[in-house]
Amino acid sequence: MIEAKDAALITQSLEIASERGGDLTDAVYARLFQDRPEFEALFVMDTDGAVRGEMLSRVFDAILDFIGERAYAHNLIHAEASNHDGYNVPRKDFALFFRTVAQTVRDASGGTWSTQTDDAWSRLLEEIDLFIIANA
- Mean pLDDT over the full length of the chain: 94
Say what the pLDDT of residue 1 is.
Answer: 85
Residues 29-44: tens digit of each pLDDT: 999 999 999 999 999 9
Say what the pLDDT of residue 136 is.
Answer: 66
Residues 78-134: tens digit of each pLDDT: 999 999 988 889 898 999 999 999 999 999 999 999 999 999 999 999 999 998 988
Which option is the CATH number for 4-134: 3.40.50.2300, 1.10.533.10, 1.10.490.10, 3.40.50.880?
Answer: 1.10.490.10
In the chain, domain spans: 4-134
Q: What is the pTM of this model?
A: 0.94
Three-state secondary structure of the chain: CCCHHHHHHHHHHHHHHHHHHCCCHHHHHHHHHHHCHHHHHHHCCCCCCHHHHHHHHHHHHHHHHHCCCCCCHHHHHHHHHHHHHCCCCCHHHHHHHHHHHHHHHHHHHHHHCCHHHHHHHHHHHHHHHHHHHHCC
Say what the pLDDT of residue 29 is.
Answer: 97
